[in-house]
């Protein structure tokens, strides 16, 4: 008969496994997971430890869903299975495990874009945060809070949590990716506050760190985000250079390059049309369309058709039909942006009737954006 392994030994290994997950070290994490799974068979009975294992397995899958997404909308991590398992074990989840339970559930709901459900789980976790003594784990919590509030445009609260997370990560070289992600969130919040000049230093730091770690995907994302800030500041030349640079880097990085390159391609085309360089724009518009079709990404397809409808044909009726389509996909932020561009374009052409009409369309989209935020019932 095999020797019985004390559960505390396995507990230590699960902690180590979690560390690898948080560092996005998927290879070593996978290896350790298999090792732990084998030793579970020889472990002394310990329901809490089995639960800890199940929670971490779930967290492992949340990481994989981030690093190596499956087909659009599909997730490896499955909360209802975890929940069933917990019920079967009839374990009463307390303390640190309760923290993990709510926190991981929040991450899972966030991945499904169920933001209100995610916030509710995160808040339950927050009440148990006192059980967490590890600095990095507390930073992880604040990072996830800053991330979700950024997505929900709750800028101040997102900034608050981003700062708490960043203060910790910056002291730990091993968590470079999270440091970069924090800088992206801080910059994104500044962009939302139209303080692009304050976003840039954060993006430059993110770029430098990404280069230190030779992470091509993050270098490309830093360049794209910087380009976006310059675009919104009106510095079109600088924005265009950065878009081009980020496209060529995304294209070097095989996995996911179609999806990631489409936004810089689109912005490059937008910029060139705004500069009246229609011939140069053609390449980016066509490349954008090709990739959007390969991805069956209807929103980018319609947005690309819009560029032609406005800048080449000034076909207001067609533009209205495109907005109508985007509306049916709830792409209101896209409509707001493009309708404003259209209104300003017609204003410059001194076609004020169309200008006024498209300003009205932008206004209409903005009301839907504000309404869309509301998911409460009380």
Residues of this chain that interact with its own copies (CB under 8 A) are: 119, 123, 149, 152, 154-157, 159-160, 163, 186, 190, 192-195, 198, 340, 343-344, 346-347, 352-353, 355-356, 359-360, 363, 367, 370-371, 373-374, 376, 378
**Shortest Å distance, C-beta 149 to its own copies:** 8
**Shortest Å distance, C-beta 179 to its own copies:** 14
Name the residue nearer to its own copies (CB basis): 182 or 272.
182
Name the residue nearer to its own copies (CB basis): 152 or 282.
152
Calpha distance 349→255 (Å, rounded): 43
**Shortest Å distance, C-beta 365 to its own copies:** 12
Name the residue nearer to its own copies (CB basis): 6 or 360.
360
Name the residue nearer to its own copies (CB basis): 152 or 216.
152
- Long-range pairs for 195-204: beta carbons < 8 A, 24 or more residues apart: 196/229, 196/230, 196/232, 196/233, 197/233, 199/225, 199/229, 200/226, 200/229, 203/229
Pick from 252, 258, 241: which is nearest to 217 by CA?
252
Residue 194's H or E segment, with its range, is: none
Sign (positive or negative) of CA dihedral 320, 325, 329, 331: negative
Calpha distance 181→144 (Å, rounded): 10
**Shortest Å distance, C-beta 169 to its own copies:** 14
Count Cα atoms within 13 angstroms, Cβ side, for 262.
19
Cβ atoms within 10 A of the Cβ of 269, count? 26
Name the residue nearer to its own copies (CB basis): 192 or 293.
192
**Shortest Å distance, C-beta 28 to its own copies:** 33
Name the residue nearer to its own copies (CB basis): 37 or 195.
195
Q: Are 180 and 28 in contact (CB under 8 A)?
A: no
**Shortest Å distance, C-beta 135 to its own copies:** 16
**Shortest Å distance, C-beta 159 to its own copies:** 6
Name the residue nearer to its own copies (CB basis): 289 or 343.
343
Query: What pairs with residue 5 in β-bridges?
Result: 43
Residues 6+ apart with CB under 8 A from 315: 309
Calpha distance 110→115 (Å, rounded): 6
């Amino acid at each position: 008969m095999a020797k019985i392994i004390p559960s505390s030994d396995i507990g230590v290994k699960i902690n180590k496994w979690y560390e690898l997950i948080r560092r996005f070290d998927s290879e070593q994490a996978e290896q350790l997971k298999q090792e732990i799974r084998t030793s579970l068979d020889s472990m002394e009975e310990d329901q809490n430890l089995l639960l800890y294992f199940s929670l971490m397995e779930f967290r492992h899958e949340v990481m994989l869903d981030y690093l190596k997404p499956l087909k659009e909308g599909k997730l490896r991590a499955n909360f209802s299975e975890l929940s069933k398992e917990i019920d079967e074990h009839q374990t009463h989840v307390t303390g640190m495990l309760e923290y993990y339970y709510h926190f991981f559930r929040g991450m899972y709901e966030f991945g499904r874009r169920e933001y209100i459900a995610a916030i509710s789980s995160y808040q339950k976790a927050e009440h148990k945060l006192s059980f967490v003594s590890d600095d990095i784990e507390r930073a992880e919590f604040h990072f996830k809070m800053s991330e979700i509030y950024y997505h929900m445009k709750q800028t101040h609260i997102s900034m608050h949590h981003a700062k708490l997370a960043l203060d910790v990560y910056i002291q730990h070289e091993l968590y470079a990716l999270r440091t970069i992600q924090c800088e992206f969130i801080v910059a994104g919040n500044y962009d939302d506050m139209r303080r692009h000049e304050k976003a840039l230093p954060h993006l430059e730091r993110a770029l430098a760190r990404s280069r230190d770690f030779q992470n091509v995907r993050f270098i490309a994302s830093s360049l794209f985000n910087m380009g976006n800030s310059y675009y919104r500041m009106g510095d079109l030349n600088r924005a265009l250079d950065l878009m081009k640079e980020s496209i060529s880097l995304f294209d070097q990085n095989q996995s996911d390059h179609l999806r990631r390159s489409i936004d810089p391609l689109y912005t490059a085309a937008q910029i060139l049309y705004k500069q009246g360089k229609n011939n140069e724009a053609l390449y980016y518009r066509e490349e954008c369309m090709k990739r959007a079709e390969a991805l069956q990404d209807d929103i980018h397809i319609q947005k690309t058709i819009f560029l032609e409808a406005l800048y080449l044909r000034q076909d207001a009726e067609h533009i209205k039909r495109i907005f109508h389509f985007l509306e049916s996909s709830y792409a209101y932020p896209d409509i707001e942006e493009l309708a404003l561009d259209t209104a300003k374009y017609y204003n410059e052409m001194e076609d004020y009737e169309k200008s006024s009409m498209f300003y009205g369309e932008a206004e209409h989209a903005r009301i839907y954006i504000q309404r869309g935020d509301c998911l409460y019932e009380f």
